[in-house]
């Protein structure tokens, strides 16, 4: 017999509810503060009820932000813990037709999930995985921030020197960045002169650019216009953004080194990195988010967890399906998207499936989403069967 204990996680204090095996609530709701003394008092209460009913306590909680880490760490020393993704709890709570939502109701809902076993648990017990998950989350945040900084830099460069981006495959090439650091304004480039600018570009690009390229850049600079009334602010921003991007990209490399080092100690037990298109870095990120696939009874549950399942709106006899709902793990969806882009070039299974969707008239992004679902099924299969990926014959 089990005691099913649900804990609704909050920033400063959590609400707990205890249900017996029949779903009957035992006692009042319990408030647990983020204090060792409060947690010890809660454990005493659980042990008292457990001994009285001769039952085994097990605890469920919602993995909300960062606020569950500390209490999970303390309680996992004593009890079996099931940490659920918020979307799992929300889906189970949808059966409450009143639509009420309070911390106490959420705690009871989580206890009921334990009682009925309606949602696959997400295992956070492996400390190595939790460390890897933290690194991956930080990596994703850094990448997102760098992408935003780059958008701002592109905007400012366009204001200072319209059409500058037309001279390079990307304004973030080594030579372009060097020019923006040294002579960011058209007038600066003209002041340097053709000979010096060419030597500068030649040196930074390792002889990649010709004198003709330098001449064309200067011609564009001579014919360029820019809003001089905000020029000083734009130049300050460009300098700051270049420094920030350089620093953050160095931090991204450092985090990637740590992710790969952690994955190196784990990869022998896994097979998703054997799938063409999934690098070791991607494999580490996918596993950090998913955990072991045994937590999922079917690959469709992973599809939902990643937010690739379609939006469905139904009214009367009319049903509208659009997709994807994007309510799952953003990091998992991001890394799977990157993996599919690589796989459609190097993985014959994904490539064939992607091209099939394109031939059916599907939009490029729709075909990518379909290929991501296919990739999820392949990941689930190789991890479930514990066998490397092989192209079907």
Lowest mean pLDDT among 27-31, 85-89, 327-331: 85-89
* Chain region(s) in the chain for CATH 1.10.287: 131-258
Residue 68 has pLDDT above 90, yes or no: no
How confident is the prediction for the chain on average, in pLDDT?
88
* pLDDT higher at 92 or 218: 218
Give 107-125 pLDDT, tens digit per residue. 998 888 888 765 445 554 4
Mean pLDDT of 322-332: 75
Q: What is the pLDDT of residue 119?
A: 47
Mean pLDDT of 243-257: 98
Structure-token pair, residue 175: 């030579």
Contacts (Cβ under 8 Å, ≥6 apart) of 102: none
Structure-token pair, residue 212: 């003709």
Q: CA dist 320 to 218, 306, 312, 313, 335, Å?
A: 55, 21, 6, 5, 28
The fold adopted by the segment(s) 131-258 is: Helix Hairpins (1.10.287)
* Chain region(s) in the chain for CATH 3.30.420.40: 2-125
Which residue, 392, 381, 129, 130, is CA-closest to 272? 381
* Percent above pLDDT 90 for the chain: 66
Give 360-373 pLDDT, tens digit per residue. 999 999 999 999 99
Mean pLDDT of 324-337: 85
If phi > 0 it is left, if psi is from -120 to 50 it is alpha, else beta; for residue 322 that is beta
Mean pLDDT of 75-95: 73
Give 198-213 pLDDT, tens digit per residue. 999 999 988 888 899 9
* CA-CA-CA-CA torsion sign (348, 353, 359, 365): negative
Residue 375 has pLDDT above 60, yes or no: yes
Residue 343's Cβ-count burial label (10 Å; 0-12, 13-18, 19+) is buried
The CATH superfamily label for domain 2-125 reads ATPase, nucleotide binding domain (3.30.420.40)
Asked whether the beta carbons of 156 and 238 are under 8 A apart, the reply is: yes
Reported pTM? 0.76
Q: What is the pLDDT of residue 126?
A: 67
**Would you say how long the chain is, in residues?**
393
Residue 321 has pLDDT above 90, yes or no: no
Residue 315's Cβ-count burial label (10 Å; 0-12, 13-18, 19+) is exposed
Classify each residue of 85-107 as buried b or exposed e, where b means 16 or more C-beta atoms within 10 Å of its C-beta: bebbbebbbeeeeeeeeebbbbb
Best mean pLDDT range from 118-127, 227-236, 242-251: 242-251
Q: What is the pLDDT of residue 319?
A: 47
Mean pLDDT of 88-95: 60
Structure-token pair, residue 17: 């509810």
Q: How far is it, in rounded angstroms, from Cα 68 to Cα 16?
A: 13
- Following DSSP, what letter does each residue of 327-362 receive, concatenated? -S-HHHHHHHHHHHHHHHHH-HHHHHHHHHHHHTT-
Residue that has been written with the tokens 């008292």 in this structure: 48
Give 25-59 pLDDT, tens digit per residue. 999 999 999 899 999 999 999 999 999 999 999 99
Residue 317 has pLDDT above 80, yes or no: no
Contacts (Cβ under 8 Å, ≥6 apart) of 68: 9, 61, 62, 83
């Amino acid at each position: 017999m089990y005691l099913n204990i649900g804990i609704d996680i909050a920033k400063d204090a959590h609400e707990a509810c205890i249900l017996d095996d029949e779903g009957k609530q035992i006692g009042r709701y319990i408030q647990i503060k983020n204090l060792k003394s409060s947690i010890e008092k809660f454990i005493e209460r659980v042990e008292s009820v457990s001994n009285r009913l001769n039952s085994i306590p097990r605890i469920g909680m919602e993995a909300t932000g960062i606020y569950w880490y500390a209490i999970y760490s303390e309680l996992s020393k004593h009890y079996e813990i099931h940490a659920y993704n918020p979307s799992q709890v929300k889906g189970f709570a949808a059966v409450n037709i009143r639509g009420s939502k309070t911390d106490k109701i959420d705690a009871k809902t989580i206890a009921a999930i334990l009682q009925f076993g309606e949602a696959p648990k997400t295992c956070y017990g492996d400390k190595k995985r939790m460390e890897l998950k933290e690194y991956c989350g930080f990596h994703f945040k850094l990448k997102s921030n760098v992408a935003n900084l780059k958008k701002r830099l592109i905007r400012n460069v366009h204001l200072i020197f319209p059409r500058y981006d037309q001279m390079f495959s990307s304004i973030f090439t080594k030579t372009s960045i060097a020019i923006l650091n040294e002579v960011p304004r058209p007038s600066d480039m003209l002041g340097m002169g053709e000979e010096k600018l060419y030597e500068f570009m030649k040196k930074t690009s390792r002889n990649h650019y010709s004198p003709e390229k330098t001449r064309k850049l200067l011609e564009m600079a001579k014919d360029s216009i820019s809003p001089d009334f905000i020029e000083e602010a734009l130049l300050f921003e460009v300098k700051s953004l270049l420094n920030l991007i350089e620093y953050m990209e160095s931090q991204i490399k450092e985090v990637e080194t740590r992710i790969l080092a952690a994955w190196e100690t784990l990869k022998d037990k896994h097979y998703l990195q054997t799938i063409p298109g999934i690098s070791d870095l991607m494999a580490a990120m996918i596993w950090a988010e998913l955990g072991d696939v045994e937590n999922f009874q079917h690959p469709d549950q992973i599809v939902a967890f990643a937010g690739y399942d379609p939006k469905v709106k139904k009214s009367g006899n009319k049903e509208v399906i659009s997709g994807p709902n994007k309510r799952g793990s953003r990091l998992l969806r991001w890394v799977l998207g990157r993996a599919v882009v690589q796989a459609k070039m190097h993985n014959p299974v994904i490539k064939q499936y992607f091209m099939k969707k394109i031939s059916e008239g599907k939009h490029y992004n729709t075909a990518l989403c379909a290929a991501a679902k296919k990739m999820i099924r392949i990941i689930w299969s190789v991890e479930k069967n514990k066998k490397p990926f092989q192209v079907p014959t």
